[in-house]
Amino acid sequence: MTDEPEGGAPGDALWGGRFAVPVHPAILEFTNSLPFDRRLVRHDLLASLAHARMLRETSILPRADSDLILSGLSEVLGEVEAGGLEVEGPDEDVHTWIERTLVERVGEAGKRLHTARSRNDQTAIALRLYVRERLEDVLYGVAGLQRVLTGQAASLRETFLPGYTHLQRGQPVSLAHHLLAHVASLAADAERLRAAHRLAGVSPLGSGALAGTSFPIDPARSAALLGLDRTFSNSMHIVGDRDYVLDAAYACALLGVHLSRWADEVVLWSTREFGFIELDDSVSQGSSIMPQKKNPEAAEILRGKSARAIGNVTSLLALMKGLPLTFNSDFQEDKERLFDSLDTADWSLAAAIAIARGVNYRTDVMEAALAGGMLTATELADHLVRRGVPFRTAHHQVGEAVSLAEEAGVELWELDLEALRACCPSAGDDVHDVLRPDAAVAAHDSPGGPAPVRVLEQLQAVDREVIELEAWLDGRSDPPIRRAHLEERLLDAEIA
């Protein structure tokens, strides 16, 4: 007899043969990961199909057993995807649930599935497949937001407003150029997300617990069946590698930072103090006490979500920093942080697209803001430089002209030629032609600049990039193993 509370029966677990007494219920509850790793069921089933097919083709498993396993896994996968089978029960994780469900359906043959495989490489492959699929979802959102912003930019190439440094008016730019700055950040995000997708595409199947296996496996075949073109080079490294988790979380965090900067601008520009935009009622909310209020709450929450994504990266880095080779159960803690990062990125992009569509640009207010900041002072300095004045001398002279204009309560382009030449003796007769904001923008036609011709080039380049990204995403398809086993070509069909 024992006075220990009853726990799980050792024989019910995948590892129970070594243990003589039940596991304490508190430990069972503490170590149970099924409530969150059930998300991986589809990806684990796909990986199991690939592993079982490889075992069949290498004759590691008898054909009769492998036929039953493949058919059973296909049946379970179909039901899971159709929503007819819930992942629930007393199992400690999703891997145990799959094996138990399979054995219940096909009998003793199901117990052979784990041949030449460990839960270590099983976990790793399921998580890698999940990461790649979810990154594709995020990339669709990135492309969608780029489409909205570039569509707005295309129609606003001739709208001018101040460009800011230190949140002070600096030089005139076009609204299109300003919006395309945010699109450029999203393009960099897409590049990082695709890099994370590629880096996750290494198959760990065949690495076993840490030392591979003595069976004559074919890891390249397993990888190919899952649509992956790379296999591991070191079994100890691959089962303990979570760099791809960090890569994905970091890419999502930086995306969140970029969305936060854009959202902060939405909040700022919608204030009475700026008044550059007005938000549609559909993306605004009110105050519980002040009836007149129209608050940009969605943009504020979007701004706040970035902190959550940053925290997940920090948590994952701390999780990994002191772990010895190879597999450690600490890895159980990576799932919820990773899932949250991917979920947050997905939700944030959906919200950002809705907010962006609900922005109404007040172009009259923007253009009115071009006055009062001496925004073409740099153009006056450049004009003098072109007439042979050293830049530092020109800078000083223009500063004097700015002071003169401020005292007179006028803009630089409103000073008459005589007044300008009192400060800037080398000013030409055509100096006023370069001082108007629209002329200043048009003159800034260096590559990547705000001149309308350069903005058009940027729009065309972004359009090509988004088309390429969407084509790449649309070209993604289910792994060959899924096609082979869910289209009733279960066992003998050639895999395309």
CATH number at residue 95: 1.10.275.10
CATH number at residue 289: 1.20.200.10
478 is a domain residue:
no
Q: 270 with 296: CB under 8 angstroms?
A: yes
Q: How far is CA 341 from CA 248, 252, 347, 468, in A?
A: 8, 6, 10, 25
Tens of pLDDT along 126-158? Answer: 999 999 999 999 999 999 999 999 999 999 999
Q: How far is CA 113 from CA 30, 183, 211, in A?
A: 27, 48, 19
More confident residue, 20 or 86: 86
Q: Is the pLDDT of residue 358 over 90?
A: yes
Domain that holds residue 85: 32-115
Strand partners, 163: 171
Average pLDDT value for residue range 104-108: 97
200 is a domain residue:
yes
Looking at the fold, whether 280 and 317 belong to one and the same domain comes out as yes
Domain end marker among 85, 115, 145? 115
Domain end marker among 309, 334, 367? 367
227 is a domain residue:
no
243 is a domain residue:
yes
130 is a domain residue:
yes
* pLDDT score for 3: 44
* pLDDT score for 373: 87
Looking at the fold, whether 128 and 192 belong to one and the same domain comes out as yes
Residue reference for tokens 């830049």: 391
Q: In total, how many domains does the chain have?
A: 3
Looking at the fold, whether 341 and 413 belong to one and the same domain comes out as no
Looking at the fold, whether 319 and 203 belong to one and the same domain comes out as yes
Average pLDDT value for residue range 430-458: 94
Q: Please, what is the average pLDDT of the chain?
A: 92
* pLDDT score for 480: 85
* pLDDT score for 494: 45
10 Å Cβ neighbour count for 440?
A: 25
3-state SS, residue 61: coil
* pLDDT score for 13: 62
* pLDDT score for 483: 67
Tens of pLDDT along 45-100? Answer: 999 999 999 999 999 999 999 999 999 999 999 999 999 999 999 999 999 999 99
Looking at the fold, whether 259 and 395 belong to one and the same domain comes out as no
* pLDDT score for 492: 46
3-state SS, residue 271: coil
Q: Is the pLDDT of residue 203 over 70?
A: yes
Average pLDDT value for residue range 158-176: 96
Strand partners, 413: none
* pLDDT score for 493: 44
Looking at the fold, whether 191 and 337 belong to one and the same domain comes out as yes
Q: pLDDT tier at 360 (50, 70, 90 boundaries)?
A: very high
Looking at the fold, whether 66 and 211 belong to one and the same domain comes out as no
* pLDDT score for 19: 76
Q: Is the pLDDT of residue 12 over 90?
A: no
137 is a domain residue:
yes
* pLDDT score for 111: 96
229 is a domain residue:
no
Tens of pLDDT along 180-201? Answer: 999 999 999 999 999 999 999 9
* pLDDT score for 476: 87
Active-site residue identified among 59, 155, 282, 287: 287
* pLDDT score for 272: 94
End-to-end CA distance of the chain: 59
Q: Is the pLDDT of residue 17 over 70?
A: no
Domain end marker among 367, 392, 408? 367
Tens of pLDDT along 420-440? Answer: 999 999 999 999 999 999 999
Q: Is the pLDDT of residue 477 over 80?
A: no
Residue reference for tokens 């649509």: 227
3-state SS, residue 389: coil
**Catalytic annotation present for 485:** no
Looking at the fold, whether 181 and 326 belong to one and the same domain comes out as yes
**Catalytic annotation present for 48:** no
**E strand or H helix at 316:** helix 297-320
* pLDDT score for 319: 97
Average pLDDT value for residue range 264-289: 93
Q: Is the pLDDT of residue 491 over 90?
A: no
Tokens matching residue 125: 């492959």
Report which DSSP code applies to 162: E
Looking at the fold, whether 344 and 403 belong to one and the same domain comes out as no
Look up residue 268 and give its amino acid. Answer: L
Q: What percent of the chain has pLDDT over 90?
A: 88
263 is a domain residue:
yes
CA separation for the pair 96, 22 (Å, rounded): 17
Q: 235 with 213: CB under 8 angstroms?
A: no
CATH number at residue 392: 1.10.40.30
Looking at the fold, whether 417 and 362 belong to one and the same domain comes out as no
Looking at the fold, whether 352 and 328 belong to one and the same domain comes out as yes
Looking at the fold, whether 362 and 403 belong to one and the same domain comes out as no
